[in-house]
Amino acid sequence: MSSATSASKPDASGTTPKQLQDIPHLKLSDGNEIPMIGYGLGTANFKRGNKEGLDEKIINDTVTAIKNGYYHLDCAEAYGNEAEVGVAIARAGVPRDKLFITTKTSCNPGDTIEAALSRSLAKLGLDYVDLYLIHSPYWASSPAELQRRWAEMEAQRDAGRARSIGVSNYLREHLEAVFAAAPRHPPVVNQIEYHPYLQHDPDGGGGLLAYLREKGIAVEAYSPLTAVRRAAPGPVDPVYDRLAKKYGVTAGEVALRWCLDQGIVAVTTSSSEERLKQWMTRLPTFKLTPEEVEEIAEKGREKHYRGFWTNKFAEDDRR
């Protein structure tokens, strides 16, 4: 297998190299690069119970992930575990310039982006984050509020406290509001729930992903293993199983590869060191064909499942 050249490095257009020998980095529209596999600190790592004390399990799981090559860590103030991530970063001993740290602001009432990021940086023990996201648009009551908050995000990028800035859970209408104000620094990432049963293409080929690629906004998928874990059984199961057998991998690895082969960053998690090692070892060893990527997409459109923000959408809303 030949190495992927720098000329074929994946970017926000969704194009990926034909051959990959490692987990690639995706080039963002601002020139920075993001590792295409991220270790997520939400869901299973969401901090429950005593929010004041440190949760050693979260720390240990994160250290394990870092030591197994997961240098892209995805956290948020809403997860309640930024302090644990900060301790894990210190304990793991990996140089800061090798890490890619993402956190998110909830845009709480009466709070500013500057204050929220200051708190997050203090908990993380960092001078800057590599990517700072607005966690959702649902706090805003008008396009003007979305625009005002985005201007605050731009100020943090200008100050060097966030090297890249983006959004999460934004639909086209929210992004159009941001772009209507002619931002100096457009969002470079939209992190969304993405898997075969939620492809955000209610018209079968247009929709959110097409818009994001038109605007040069990279797609980050959270919950990419939903069809394997939370929404099984379903119509993609036989396809996953057949391809897993063909490539000598697991159905979960096929699910992650399906994202990568669309130029989509995949954020996932596990407390199993063996599983983390397998993902990092096996994912570079195979690549789905374009026909296989489309087959999974087509079978996925036969079912609709949304695991998050269900109170914001009608049951049949596929946006």
pLDDT in tens, 165-191: 999 999 999 999 999 999 999 999 999
Q: Is the pLDDT of residue 49 over 70?
A: no
Task: Establish if 318 belongs to a structural domain.
Answer: no
With contact defined as beta carbons under 8 Å apart, do 135 and 102 qualify? Answer: no
Q: Does 135 show up as a binding residue in the annotation? A: yes
Q: Is the pLDDT of residue 20 over 70?
A: no
Nearest to 51 by CA among 123, 152, 99: 123
In angstroms, the first-to-last Cα distance of the chain is 38
d(CA 229, CA 252): 9
Q: Is the pLDDT of residue 18 over 60?
A: no
Task: Establish if 305 belongs to a structural domain.
Answer: no
Task: Establish if 27 belongs to a structural domain.
Answer: yes
User: What's the chain's average pLDDT?
Assistant: 93
Describe the crossing of helices 56-67 and 273-282 by its angle, rounded to 10 degrees. Answer: 30
- The residue whose two tokens read 């020998």 is 21
By DSSP bridging, strand 189-193 and strand 33-35 are unpaired
Confirm whether 79 is a catalytic residue: yes
Q: Is the pLDDT of residue 206 over 90?
A: no
Q: Is the pLDDT of residue 3 over 50?
A: no
Domain containing residue 143: CATH number? 3.20.20.100
pLDDT of residue 47: 76
Backbone dihedral region for residue 248 (phi beyond 0: left; psi -120 to 50: alpha; all else: beta): left
pLDDT of residue 48: 72
Other residues' Cβ atoms within 10 Å of the Cβ of residue 302: 11
- DSSP, collapsed to helix, strand or coil, labels residue 142 as coil
Show Cβ contacts of residue 9 under 8 Å, excluding neighbours closer than 6 positions: 17, 24, 25, 26, 27
Number of domains in the chain: 1
- Report the DSSP beta bridge partners of residue 99: none
Residues in the chain: 319
d(CA 148, CA 133): 15
Task: Establish if 317 belongs to a structural domain.
Answer: no
Other residues' Cβ atoms within 10 Å of the Cβ of residue 15: 12
Encoding tokens for residue 204? 């079968």
pLDDT of residue 17: 56
Show Cβ contacts of residue 81 under 8 Å, excluding neighbours closer than 6 positions: 41, 45, 46, 47, 55, 58, 75
With contact defined as beta carbons under 8 Å apart, do 120 and 102 qualify? Answer: no
Nearest to 76 by CA among 160, 170, 150, 168: 168
Encoding tokens for residue 206? 């247009």
Task: Establish if 311 belongs to a structural domain.
Answer: no
Task: Establish if 315 belongs to a structural domain.
Answer: no
pLDDT of residue 4: 37
| CA count, 13 A, side-chain hemisphere, 232 | 15
Q: Give the type of residue at 85.
A: V
d(CA 24, CA 17): 9
Task: Establish if 54 belongs to a structural domain.
Answer: yes
List the catalytic residue out of 39, 70, 71, 79: 79
Task: Establish if 308 belongs to a structural domain.
Answer: no
Q: Is the pLDDT of residue 78 over 80?
A: yes
Residue range(s) defining the domain that contains residue 259: 3-300
With contact defined as beta carbons under 8 Å apart, do 268 and 162 qualify? Answer: no
Encoding tokens for residue 213? 């690629």
Give the predicted TM-score (pTM) of the model.
0.93
Q: Is the pLDDT of residue 212 over 50?
A: yes
Nearest to 258 by CA among 197, 195, 317, 311: 195
